[in-house]
Amino acid sequence: MATLSKTKENKFLILFGLIMLVELICANVPTLKAAHYFSKPAILISLLVFFNAYKQHLEKGTQSLMNMALILSLIGDILLLFEKEGELFFIGGLASFLIAHIMYVLVFLKKKGNVKKSGIFLIATLLYGGVLFYMIKNNLKELMIPVFLYMMVILTMANTAFIRNKGISKRSYNYVFFGALFFMVSDSLLAVNMFYKSIPLGELWIMSTYGLAQVLIVLGVLKQNKQLR
């Protein structure tokens, strides 16, 4: 059974950082747009390979749900590469990520702890989501219901990450929780950029927070059964 040592983790993080850097350059330099179609999927492909190399200590259900979440995220990334070709690509990408978030919710609920202290965080995330939805709602048109459902799911994902504290290390908890928060930030930036007003260097901020979200969640789940790491 392969074990994830600190050295292996650091080597992967260096590789992942290089992949992210290449993607950020390709996505923002017009002459490199063609390479963007390869560099963006490479983010999730690298996470899939990494997760499956060191997942053996996790229970089978968690392994399956994580793989589904990562594969659906990869499909979503690929579909969103072609969103300018038609609205169906955007809707397909949105649906893929929505189901991916549900998979993450199910993973996090497996380690659900005390939910009594989650009230303030729940209220805060609902207020956050309400303000964001109010900002973008006038430009959603026929996408209003799909986007609203997506927002509810990602808020649920963040809240299940918040209550995930049963039998896990503090590092595992923090990685997953901050990963979920970065996912919220990334999707919020994407929503504002698409439906409210253009954000300077928007693609850079969206992809940076997205990549950070995914790698933190993967690392956090891999560490959840290792109390001292």
Domain that holds residue 213: 6-222
pLDDT digits (tens, 9 = 90+) for 46-102: 999 999 999 999 999 999 999 999 999 999 999 999 988 888 999 999 999 999 999
**Is residue 2 pLDDT above 90, yes or no?**
no
pLDDT digits (tens, 9 = 90+) for 161-186: 999 988 899 999 999 999 999 999 99
Are 109 and 160 in contact, with CB atoms under 8 Å apart?
yes
Confidence of residue 1 (pLDDT cuts 50, 70, 90): low
Q: What are phi and psi of 112, to 5 degrees?
A: -65, 130
**Is residue 227 pLDDT above 70, yes or no?**
no
The number of distinct structural domains making up the chain is: 1
Give the mean model confidence (pLDDT) for residues 139-160: 94
Give the mean model confidence (pLDDT) for residues 137-160: 94
pTM, 2 dp: 0.94
Cα 28 to Cα 188: distance, rounded to the nearest angstrom: 20
Q: Which residues are CB-neighbours of 61 under 8 A, at least 6 positions away?
A: 110
**Is residue 4 pLDDT above 90, yes or no?**
no
In a domain, 65, yes or no: yes
Cα 183 to Cα 108: distance, rounded to the nearest angstrom: 15
SS3 at position 10: helix
In a domain, 227, yes or no: no
In a domain, 217, yes or no: yes
In a domain, 195, yes or no: yes
Residue 229's pLDDT is 40
Are 69 and 100 in contact, with CB atoms under 8 Å apart?
yes
Residue 3's pLDDT is 82
Q: What are phi and psi of 164, to 5 degrees?
A: -85, 95
In a domain, 229, yes or no: no
